[in-house]
């Protein structure tokens, strides 16, 4: 669960300390989670975090972990493709777009 909270903080460009301050959560709560002193958070704390990041409580459900891992893997692959495309010239980009369109279909 700590990884999910850290991921949300990273996406928002903030530190966990800022989350705690702005959401009204003691820093020790997240620290205890990170260091394994606790395995879960209270529903009240989860609601504060979910509201802060505008996500549902389901986001923190451990049964969704496998789905989150797959989403993260896809995100990393998309990011890699995007980062690589920064080095390509226009002709190379057109070729890549053509290949992707042939694989996933043309969605103009």
Reported residue count of the chain is: 108
- Each residue of 15-31: pLDDT tens digit? 999 999 999 999 999 99
Which CATH code fits 2-60?
A: 1.10.260.40
Distance (Å, whole) CA 56 – CA 67: 15
The mean pLDDT value for 76-83 works out to: 82
Question: Are the C-beta atoms of residues 3 and 33 closer than 8 Å to each other?
Answer: no
- What is the pLDDT, as a whole number, of residue 83? 85
- What is the pLDDT, as a whole number, of residue 40? 85
Instruction: Give pTM, 2 decimals.
Output: 0.57
- What is the pLDDT, as a whole number, of residue 58? 84
Give the start-to-end residue ranges of the domains of the chain: 2-60, 65-104
């Amino acid at each position: 669960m700590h990884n999910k909270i850290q991921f949300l903080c990273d996406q928002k460009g903030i530190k966990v300390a800022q989350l705690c301050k702005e959401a009204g959560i003691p820093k020790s709560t997240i620290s205890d989670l990170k260091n394994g002193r606790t395995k879960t958070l209270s529903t009240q704390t989860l609601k504060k975090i979910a509201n802060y990041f505008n996500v549902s409580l389901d986001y923190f459900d451990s049964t969704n972990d496998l789905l989150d891992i797959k989403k993260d893997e896809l995100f990393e692959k998309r990011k890699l493709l995007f980062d690589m495309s920064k080095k390509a010239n226009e002709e190379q980009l057109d070729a890549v777009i053509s290949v992707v369109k042939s694989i996933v279909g043309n969605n103009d």
